[in-house]
């Protein structure tokens, strides 16, 4: 991904590669600060009052959100010219906004890492840290993000209106507009913490459990057409079905965050019964991918990009398991009253973010590498295989460990001690909690190893396969097919 070699003819796709480059660096930051925070669970004196847990965790979760957004924007810039058949309108502004956004993100990260906290006044909220989980970026950066996203949206809309507007693009346009608009719900200050949390969830939930999921449905659909030559008409029909189910369950599923924050009791029933339906479309996506795969395999249509397709499979399965199953496990209020605010949430969060979002976007990065080097067929390398295996095992392992930690915490702190201060520490110091945290750290290291291999693979797979293709090493290249030329062999 680093070399100057490029067979990309669209400027939009060159910009996409830049977005992917920053995304992968932020992915590294995401894992690195996560590891530091995991070490602090085991050894509380580690980096104490230098880079405290709060700073590590802030950077851990914000690097995650920002790298996913970068890769999401990158993926759209990648697929836009291929869908519309024309160069992205306003690509010059798009490039400028990329540098503005990256500069702003770098400043925000450095300020949170070095300045860390400020005095209790408006200046801190505007320039250092907004102190609201996931939305810690100071207000000036919020406004900057809104401006950049508006520019991005304008590019997408203008391009789609000028070129061919496919069904996939229609869904993406509608979804990105909602995604950007929702961010505004998080940009105000109130002294009323219940009101604060009410609107905060509008951003957080309606992003990750509604608009981001629809984004994934659309991009997976596009990826299936691209990698296994799925039938566009069927794919687009599926995307509409998934959109109906995702928004039908996800929008009112927001209620499962309104059980205990001062909001009325009627949210118990709404939150429970709508969010219980949230896994259904995730099963649908999984079935869709596997069904299409089987259908195309029957036609002996090769997989034109095996690593990307493997990541799509990890995506659908991880999304169903992490977001669907792990989410459902603690979504009912009768259970949630004990699990809310315990290690249950990170157990669900780790697998859900990895499965639902990281996996699909890594898959898109492989598609970009394929395009950049003009490879007809992209097969797995050893590093790629080990990368996907270790990353997946590592995240699954962390999820298991955190699930056990969550059980401990809800039983000891909540059930036995009634959520008191003493109960909190009794749970944290229990042997099983400590064991679970040890396993989480070990599995975090496995995840990091997986990342290193993935990183190496993304940098080297392109030139390597290109050289092999040129030397004719891939003897079966005649059988490997691109989408445009279905294999006859």
Partner 1 sequence: MIEAFTDVFPSFFGTLNRGPMTLTIFLHTLIVLPMFFIYFSEKKKIERGEPDE
Partner 2 sequence: MEERPTSVWSSTRFWRKSAGWVTGVSALLLIWLSVDTVAQISMGTDEDMQAKKPMRIFPSTVINHKVTYEYDAKRGHEVPVIGEKEAFFGRSDYSPEEADALLRHGKLTVQAKNCMSCHTLLGNGGYFAPDLTKAWLDPAWSESGPYMAMTGTATREEAMAKFMMHPSTYPTHARRMPELGITEDEAKAIVAFLKHMASIDTNGFPRNFAKMNGGVNAK
Sites of contact with partner 1 (CB under 8 A): 248, 252, 264-266, 268-270, 273-274
2 binds partner 2 (CB under 8 A): no
> Out of 113, 147, 270, 449, which residue is the one contacting partner 2 (CB under 8 A)?
270
CA dist., res. 387 & res. 458, Å (int):
10
267 binds partner 2 (CB under 8 A): yes
Are 286 and 300 within 8 A, CB to CB? Answer: no
> What residues between 299 and 318 interact with partner 2 by CB under 8 A?
none
Closest by Cα among 17, 111, 146 to 70: 17
Pair of tokens at residue 370: 């394929």
188 binds partner 2 (CB under 8 A): no
CA dist., res. 227 & res. 229, Å (int):
6
The CA-atom distances, in angstroms, between 337 and each of 50, 125, 198, 256, 385 are: 35, 31, 18, 11, 41
Please identify, using beta-carbon distances, which residue of 273 and 487 lies nearer to partner 2: 273
Please identify, using beta-carbon distances, which residue of 153 and 273 lies nearer to partner 1: 273
Out of partner 1, partner 2, none, what residue 269 binds, judged by CB under 5 to 8 A for its kind, is: partner 1
Please identify, using beta-carbon distances, which residue of 264 and 298 lies nearer to partner 1: 264
- Least Å distance, CB 268 to partner 1, is 8
421 binds partner 2 (CB under 8 A): yes
Please identify, using beta-carbon distances, which residue of 131 and 248 lies nearer to partner 1: 248
> What residues between 349 and 408 interact with partner 2 by CB under 8 A?
none
User: For partner 2, which stretch binds (CB under 8 A), given 114-122, 144-152, 313-321, 360-368?
Assistant: 114-122
128 binds partner 2 (CB under 8 A): yes
- Least Å distance, CB 68 to partner 2, is 19
- Least Å distance, CB 131 to partner 2, is 3
- Least Å distance, CB 292 to partner 1, is 20
- Least Å distance, CB 232 to partner 1, is 11
48 binds partner 2 (CB under 8 A): yes
CA dist., res. 103 & res. 155, Å (int):
20
- Least Å distance, CB 448 to partner 2, is 20
Please identify, using beta-carbon distances, which residue of 254 and 360 lies nearer to partner 2: 254
- Least Å distance, CB 62 to partner 1, is 34
110 binds partner 2 (CB under 8 A): no
């Amino acid at each position: 991904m680093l070399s100057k070699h490029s067979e990309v003819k669209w400027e939009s796709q060159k910009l996409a590669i830049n977005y992917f480059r920053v995304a992968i660096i932020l992915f590294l930051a995401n894992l690195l600060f996560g590891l530091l925070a995991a070490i602090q669970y085991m050894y509380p004196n580690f980096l104490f009052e230098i880079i405290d847990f709060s700073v590590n965790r802030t950077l851990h979760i914000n690097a995650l959100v920002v790298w996913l957004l970068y890769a999401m924007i990158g993926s759209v810039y990648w697929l836009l010219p291929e869908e519309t058949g024309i160069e992205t309108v306003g690509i010059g502004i798009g490039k400028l906004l990329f540098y503005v956004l990256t500069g702003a993100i770098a400043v925000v990260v450095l300020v949170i890492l070095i300045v860390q906290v400020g005095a209790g006044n408006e200046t801190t909220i505007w320039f250092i840290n907004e102190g609201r989980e996931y939305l810690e970026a100071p207000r000036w950066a919020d406004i900057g993000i809104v401006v950049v996203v508006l520019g991005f949206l304008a590019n997408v809309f203008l391009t789609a209106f000028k070129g061919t507007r496919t069904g996939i693009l229609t869904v993406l346009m509608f979804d990105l507009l909602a995604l950007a608009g929702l961010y505004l719900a998080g940009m105000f200050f109130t002294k009323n913490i219940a009101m604060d949390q009410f609107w905060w969830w509008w951003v957080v939930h309606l992003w990750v459990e509604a608009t981001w999921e629809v984004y994934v449905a659309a991009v997976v659909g596009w990826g299936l057409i691209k990698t296994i030559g799925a039938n566009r008409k069927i794919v687009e029909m599926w995307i509409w079905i998934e959109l109906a189910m995702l928004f039908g369950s996800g929008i009112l599923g927001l209620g499962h965050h309104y059980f205990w924050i001062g909001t009325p009791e009627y949210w118990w029933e709404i939150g429970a019964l709508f969010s219980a339906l949230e896994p259904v479309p995730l099963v649908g996506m999984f079935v869709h991918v596997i069904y299409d795969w089987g259908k195309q395999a029957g036609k002996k249509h090769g997989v034109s990009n095996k690593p990307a397709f493997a990541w799509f499979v990890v995506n659908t399965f991880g999304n169903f398991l992490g977001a669907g199953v792990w989410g459902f496990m603690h979504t009912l209020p009768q259970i949630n009253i004990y699990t809310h605010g315990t290690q249950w949430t990170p157990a669900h969060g780790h697998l859900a973010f990895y499965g639902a979002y990281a996996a699909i976007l890594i898959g898109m990065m492989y598609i970009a590498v394929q395009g950049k080097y003009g490879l007809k067929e992209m097969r797995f390398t050893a590093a790629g295989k080990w990368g996907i295996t270790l990353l997946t095992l590592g995240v699954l392992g962390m999820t298991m460990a955190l699930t056990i930690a969550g059980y401990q915490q809800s039983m000891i702190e909540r059930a036995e001690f009634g959520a008191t201060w003493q109960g909190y520490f009794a749970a944290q110091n229990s042997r099983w909690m400590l064991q679970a945290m040890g396993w989480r750290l070990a599995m975090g290291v496995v995840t990091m190893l997986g990342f290193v291999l993935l990183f190496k693979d993304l940098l080297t797979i392109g030139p390597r396969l290109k050289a092999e293709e040129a030397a004719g090493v891939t003897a079966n290249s005649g059988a490997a097919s691109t989408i445009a030329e279905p294999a006859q062999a």
